[in-house]
A and B are shown apart, each in its own frame.
Chain A
Amino acid sequence: MERYLIKFSKKDSAKYISHLDTMRTLHRAVRRAQLPIYYSKGFNPHASISIASPLSLGIESSCEYADIEFESFLEKNYILNSLNAVLPEGIKIIDVLHVKEKMKPSMALVEGAKYIVKLKYDEDIEAAKSTVNLILNAETIEIIKKSKSGEKLENIRPFIKDIVIKKYEENNLELEFLLSCGSRGNLSPNAVVELLYKKSDGRIYDHPEIKRDELYCIKNNKWIDLLSYFKGK
């Protein structure tokens, strides 16, 4: 059994493939490519593919990661090319890494994510900056979180690591969000977009165009992208 980390992108209409359907789509692609996927033993065997971090519907990504195990060693380019030949439009394998050492599943390592968010805004850039600062300077930001057991207030401020205005041209505002991601704390970029709408009194507006740009884990107290982490840099 050999473990690999694959990095892939989800673009255009593929952003509307849900997390579970993405798993199914990858699994079927592996079968079409006739790669020797490893199946768990036991009563109800399942293919050993797991995605590092679920991506919300409607968000593009250039940095999805999945752990995948094969029965035997395969050349990384062979995996990359044979999968790309059979994947649907919009999903593309960018990189493959053979994980030789015993490491935790990627899912357990992910700590944060970077998102590029495009919104509309018509006014002075300084006002946008102060809206962002309103969020960053707040000690607590409570939002109502809905779950199966009901609604409860949650402080999401600790999950917002940074918000940076990257570009402002015409009325297009481009921001970068650094947010907690993973089992120890997770915040959807859509929740931050909602905050921006609210704190700017609607001056920041329109349906956001969101792209996940990187996934991070922590090494020596620093955020490091998943692929580099696995490469051991």
Chain B
Amino acid sequence: MIYIADKILSSVTKPARYTGGEVNQVVKDLKDVNVRFAMCFPDVYEVGMSHLGIKILYHKINEREDCYCERAFAPWSDMENLMRKNGIPLFSLETKTPLKEFNFVGFTLQYEMSYTNVINMLDLSGIPLMSKDRKMEDPFVIFGGPCVYNPEPLSDIADFFVLGEAEEVIDEILDIYIKWKQSKKSREEFLLEAASVEGVYVPSFYDIEYNYDGTIKKRIALKGNIPDVIRKRYIKDLNESYFPEKIIVPLTEIVHDRIMLETFRGCTRGCRFCQAGMIYRPVREKKTDKLMEIAEKLLKNTGYEEISLTSLSICDYSDIKNLVHSLVEKYEKERVSLSLPSLRIDSFSVDLINEIQKVRKTGLTFAPEAGTQRMRDIINKGVTEEDLIKSVKSAFESGWSTIKLYFMIGLPFETLEDVEGIAALGQKVVDTYFSIPKEKRNKGLNITLSTSSFVPKPFTPFQWEAQDSMKSLTEKQQYLKEKIKSRYITYNWHENPISFLEAVFSRGDRRLTKVLIKAWEKGCKFDGWQEFFKFESWMEAFKECNVDPEFYALRKRELDEILPWDFIDIGVNKEYLKNELKKAQEGKLTKDCRISCTGCGITQFSKEGNCFNGAIFNKVQ
């Protein structure tokens, strides 16, 4: 156990990030446990503690008497400096144990720009960065989360990756570990055993051969009896799956400081830019009565006053009206508020939000994603201008006056007209507001148009497409800025260098590990935070490693190219993605899978591959 002096804690910002001791933190006697697991989030406490996935896994592992799962986050730079100066290694919050002493150090990878933090946290722990350098007494460093659907950029660092929903796999891994620990065999023996678990990928057991042009020639399995294809794992019956009844209540305010009630996984919309919409298939729902039960326990055990209904698209939950009514009715008196973080653009959603926010009309957010119908059809965002105008009209009439609209620029096949369309759409929203009689609307119109720069992601129909260059994106942002005339509209945009690096790593391969380490050596960390981001250092790192970032970000791939993540099976087949890309080029829409099956392959992927498990069909909108 590490003692952190008051002198240190008193001189850093938000020391409660490092003290642990929160309500519902799990405390165990170390004598009683066989496996110690450090659940790590490669960002600062407030961000990591806002993530639902690690909460589920933390409590799930701790359900086992033989295992103790603790937490660790990236220390903010002031704390890191003091830790390095005083020789304090990275420690767990629960027992202040150095991470090096754990059996597993598991990271969740939610965004590419957290990779340097992973390296920094391993270094702060004194754990060898490269898996090949780890010895018998070192922990196994493992990764999960959406980014591991392309695990290759971290392949020299990871002992193994877990593909898919880790709740489904983790017990098998822990059981194998306990047996292996008793057997006193080599690290490799354990990895070989682990590799036999479906969903586990041990990168060191494979080699890659490249073509002259830098593309992949083939993958070579270096061991017998290891799978060529790694299939993702997923919970079959979400309604019956584990969900914690007590979650940790932080002592310092975190980003999402509320109960996250997970209603369903997967999405049926099939937007062609969206990775989550593909990798989380099939759609599986929790039933309303189950959700009511979980909500009651969580409210009682946390004291939170707010529940956020989470999913990829909350208004698509088949029993949403009933769920919202039931929660409002039951908890209105106790002043529990509800939030719907992902509103669909239709009047149904606006009616729903009206019901929830009767008094406080905070801002509304919609995501039309693109400015013209042509572009929205290309990305298969099944939304029309009429839908949006109807929705905002209804919102204005209900008393809202602050509306945010999210868009992407740099989408495949985009023209300047599509960019201009964003400004035009914003203007139409302003005009809609003024078309409503004064006495029927609230004062203080405020429209925010926000653009992010498109990053092509693996396992989407756009996985073969080039990212727009930074120069072109900057020009488009400038162009859009000029086209916005109304003083009621504010325009925000993302920094293009960050989007560029995201594109490099999201579709990168094994040759990027050395770049990551080089960039980290140059001081890169917290790359997702503007105040830390050092683009020049990144560019130097690429140069010194003789790696061309544009090869990954800006290159259009041939459809028959072997992609670094092709060995992973998410259940949606490649032919489907190719066909979706073709339809995008032709501007053809693919219907929502609730209307009819679009044949993505997920139903054949697993025998139990049951789409819409838990959904109430006659209520599907």
Contact across chains for B16 and A30 when beta carbons are under 8 A apart: no
A24 within 8 A of B: yes
Specify which chain A residues have a CB less than 8 angstroms from the CB of B302 in the assembled complex. Answer: 28, 32
Q: Which residue of B lies closest to A207 (CB)?
A: B7
A18 within 8 A of B: yes
Using C-beta atoms within 8 Å of the partner chain, give the interface range for chain A.
Answer: 20 to 34
Known: A31-B305, A88-B21. A58 touches B9 (CB 8 A): yes
Contact across chains for A29 and B6 when beta carbons are under 8 A apart: no
B136 within 8 A of A: no
- In the complex, how many angstroms separate the beta carbon of B257 from the nearest chain A beta carbon? 8
Contact across chains for A57 and B252 when beta carbons are under 8 A apart: no
Q: Which of A17, A27, A39 contacts B16 (CB 8 A)?
A: A17
A188-215 contact mask (Cβ, 8 Å, vs B): 1 or 0: 0000000000000000001101000000
Specify which chain A residues have a CB less than 8 angstroms from the CB of B249 in the assembled complex. Answer: 28, 88
Specify which chain B residues have a CB less than 8 angstroms from the CB of A99 in the assembled complex. Answer: none
Known: A29-B303, A90-B21. A21 touches B10 (CB 8 A): no
Specify which chain B residues have a CB less than 8 angstroms from the CB of A87 in the assembled complex. Answer: 23
Residues 234-291 (chain B) with a chain A CB within 8 angstroms: 249, 251-253
B335 within 8 A of A: yes
Contact across chains for B7 and A88 when beta carbons are under 8 A apart: no
Known: A13-B21, A31-B303. A209 touches B6 (CB 8 A): yes
**Cα-based distance from A80 to B10 in the complex (angstroms):** 30
**Cα-based distance from A93 to B240 in the complex (angstroms):** 39
Q: Which of B10, B21, B300 contacts A58 (CB 8 A)?
A: B10
Known: A17-B252, A27-B303, A34-B300. A207 touches B16 (CB 8 A): no
**Cα-based distance from A13 to B5 in the complex (angstroms):** 11
Contact across chains for B360 and A207 when beta carbons are under 8 A apart: no
**Cα-based distance from A114 to B299 in the complex (angstroms):** 38
**Cα-based distance from A39 to B335 in the complex (angstroms):** 9
Contact across chains for B19 and A57 when beta carbons are under 8 A apart: no
Contact across chains for B252 and A21 when beta carbons are under 8 A apart: yes
Contact across chains for A28 and B21 when beta carbons are under 8 A apart: no
Contact across chains for A21 and B360 when beta carbons are under 8 A apart: no
Q: Which of B5, B19, B21, B305 contacts A207 (CB 8 A)?
A: B5
A60-98 contact mask (Cβ, 8 Å, vs B): 1 or 0: 000000000000000000000000001111100000000
Specify which chain A residues have a CB less than 8 angstroms from the CB of B303 in the assembled complex. Answer: 27-32, 86
**Cα-based distance from A14 to B22 in the complex (angstroms):** 9
B359 within 8 A of A: yes
Specify which chain B residues have a CB less than 8 angstroms from the CB of A207 in the assembled complex. Answer: 5-7, 10
Q: Which of B9, B335, B360 contacts A16 (CB 8 A)?
A: B9
B301 within 8 A of A: yes
B434 within 8 A of A: no
Q: Which residue of B lies closest to A209 (CB)?
A: B6
**Cα-based distance from A209 to B304 in the complex (angstroms):** 33
B42 within 8 A of A: no
Contact across chains for A28 and B304 when beta carbons are under 8 A apart: yes
Q: Which of B23, B253, B360 contacts A88 (CB 8 A)?
A: B23
Known: A27-B303, A88-B22. A43 touches B10 (CB 8 A): no
Specify which chain A residues have a CB less than 8 angstroms from the CB of B22 in the assembled complex. Answer: 88
Specify which chain B residues have a CB less than 8 angstroms from the CB of A28 in the assembled complex. Answer: 23, 249, 302-304
Contact across chains for B19 and A16 when beta carbons are under 8 A apart: yes
- In the complex, how many angstroms separate the beta carbon of A233 from the nearest chain B beta carbon? 35
A25 within 8 A of B: yes
Q: Which of B5, B10, B335 contacts A57 (CB 8 A)?
A: B10
Contact across chains for B19 and A13 when beta carbons are under 8 A apart: yes
B15 within 8 A of A: yes
Contact across chains for A21 and B9 when beta carbons are under 8 A apart: no
**Cα-based distance from A76 to B305 in the complex (angstroms):** 25
**Cα-based distance from A24 to B10 in the complex (angstroms):** 21
B20 within 8 A of A: yes
Q: Which of B5, B10, B253, B301 contacts A32 (CB 8 A)?
A: B301
In order of increasing CB-CB distance, the 10 nearest A-B pairs are A28-B303, A31-B303, A207-B7, A13-B19, A58-B10, A16-B15, A32-B303, A89-B21, A88-B23, A16-B16
Give 29 CB contacts A-B under 8 Å.
A12-B21, A13-B20, A17-B251, A17-B252, A20-B253, A21-B252, A21-B253, A27-B303, A29-B303, A30-B303, A31-B303, A31-B304, A31-B305, A32-B300, A32-B301, A32-B302, A32-B303, A34-B300, A43-B359, A58-B6, A58-B15, A86-B23, A87-B23, A88-B23, A88-B251, A90-B21, A206-B7, A207-B10, A209-B6
Interface residues of B (CB under 8 A from A): 5-7, 9-10, 14-16, 19-23, 249, 251-253, 299-305, 335, 359-360
Give 20 new A-B contacts, CB below 8 A, not counting A17-B251, A31-B303, A88-B22: A16-B15, A16-B16, A16-B251, A17-B16, A18-B252, A21-B16, A21-B251, A29-B23, A29-B303, A32-B300, A32-B303, A34-B300, A57-B15, A58-B9, A58-B15, A88-B21, A88-B249, A207-B5, A207-B6, A207-B7
